[in-house]
Amino acid sequence: MKLVRYGEAGSERPGMVGADGKIRDLSAHVADVAGAALAPQSLAELARIDPATLPPVDGSPRLGPCVSGTGKLICIGLNYSDHAAETGATVPPEPIIFMKATSAIVGPNDDLLIPRGSEKTDWEVELGIIIGKQAKYVSEAEALDCVAGYCIVHDVSERAFQTERSGQWTKGKSCDTFGPTGPWLVTKDEIPDPQNLKMWLTVNGEFMQDGSTKTMVFGASYLVSYLSQFMSLQPGDIISTGTPPGVGMGMKPPRYLKAGDVVELGIEGLGSQRQQVRADG
C-alpha cells in the first residue's frame, strides 16, 4: 500500500495510490497520514479498501511530505561502508546519531533552497524508516513490528556548516528544505527486504549515486532497536538511515549544488523525487 499527502503546503490531504498510479482521496477514512493512522490496526483497515472505490484526485497535485506530525527526524551518519571509505572515515563501532530539524521537511518535489552563505550544499539519497507505533527498549527481533513503512529521504547537507564550523552536525543538516520526504509511505508488507534496495541520484541527468541498501553497516531492524534503547520512537518519527557513495564531498575535486541544478533521486519500490535548486532569499 502506498500512502500519500497531496495539496498545498500546510493543507495536504491524505491519499492512496492505486495500481494504476492514480491518487485517490482517503479523507473519508483518515484525517491525515499521521499518528494513530500509522498504527498496525489502522493500516490493516486501510489495506482492505479497494482504491477504485475512493474518489479520484484530478490532475497532478503537489505532493507533500508522505507523513505528517513527525516529532523526530533522526539521521544515521557513515552507515554505508563504501560511503565511509570515499570520505576517508572509519566505519563506526556504533551508529552515529544526529538530528535534522523537522522544519527542514518538505515535499519530494519542492524546491531545494541553498541557504545564505552556503558554498558546499551536498546531496544524499537515503532510505527512511517511518515509525507506526511506539518503540521503547524493543529487541531487534521485534523492531520491525513498530515500523509503518519506508520512504525516500533526501538528506541534504551543507558541508561547511556541518564540519568546518564549531559544534555538531545539526546546523549543516537542518536548513529549510533540507529534508525532502516521499513521495509515498510504502507499507512494510510491500518491502519484504529493506536491505536489498537499489538507490540512485542524479544531478542535471548525471549519475552521482548508484548504490544499494545491501552495503548498510547497521540495518533497519538494528537501528530501530538501537535507537529505542536511548529514546522512545513515536508514530510519525522518521529514521534516515545513511547514504551510499557518490556524494559531492567525496569527489576529487569536490562538487556541490548551485542554483539552477536539478536533482533527481529514487529507491527501488519507493518511487522518486525531483528538486529544482535555487538560492534562498
Amino acid 153: pLDDT: 98
CA 126 from chain centre, in angstroms, equals 6
Indicate if the pLDDT at residue 272 is higher than 90: yes
- Within 8 A by CB and 6+ apart from 36, the residues are 42, 235
Amino acid 168: pLDDT: 78
Show the DSSP H helices in the chain as ranges: 40-47, 81-87, 140-143, 159, 170-173, 220-228
Q: What is the pLDDT of residues 215-251, one digit of tens each?
A: 999 999 999 999 999 999 999 999 999 999 999 999 9
- Whether 144 contacts 188, CB under 8 Å: yes
All cell numbers assigned to 39 = 498504527
Around Cβ 38, how many Cβ atoms within 10 Å? 28
Q: What is the pLDDT of residues 184-201, one digit of tens each?
A: 999 999 999 999 999 999
Amino acid 164: pLDDT: 78
How far apart, in whole angstroms, are the C-alpha atoms of residue 245 and residue 199? Answer: 11
SS3 73: strand
Q: What is the pLDDT of residues 142-197, one digit of tens each?
A: 999 999 999 999 999 999 998 778 777 889 999 999 999 999 999 999 999 999 99
How far apart, in whole angstroms, are the C-alpha atoms of residue 73 and residue 96? Answer: 14
Q: What is the pLDDT of residues 120-146, one digit of tens each?
A: 999 999 999 999 999 999 999 999 999
CA angle 133, 17, 71 (to 5 degrees): 30
What domains does the chain contain, in order, with CATH numbers? 2-53 (no CATH), 73-279 (3.90.850.10)
Amino acid 158: pLDDT: 95
Amino acid 244: pLDDT: 95
DSSP conformational letter for 161: I
Amino acid 79: pLDDT: 94
Amino acid 86: pLDDT: 76
Amino acid 165: pLDDT: 82
- Whether 270 contacts 254, CB under 8 Å: no
How far apart, in whole angstroms, are the C-alpha atoms of residue 207 and residue 161? Answer: 25
- Give how far Cα 86 sits from Cα of 154, 250, 254, 256, Å: 19, 6, 11, 16
- Within 8 A by CB and 6+ apart from 193, the residues are none
Q: What is the pLDDT of residues 61-104, one digit of tens each?
A: 999 999 999 999 999 998 998 777 777 778 889 999 999 999 99
How far apart, in whole angstroms, are the C-alpha atoms of residue 221 and residue 127? Answer: 13
How far apart, in whole angstroms, are the C-alpha atoms of residue 53 and residue 30? Answer: 15
- Whether 16 contacts 49, CB under 8 Å: yes
How far apart, in whole angstroms, are the C-alpha atoms of residue 76 and residue 172? Answer: 14
- Within 8 A by CB and 6+ apart from 251, the residues are none
Amino acid 276: pLDDT: 98
State which amino acid sits at residue 37. A
pTM, rounded to two decimals: 0.96
Amino acid 163: pLDDT: 78
Q: With 0-12 CB in 10 A as exposed, 13-18 as middle and 19+ as buried, what is 93?
A: exposed
Averaged pLDDT, 57-61: 95
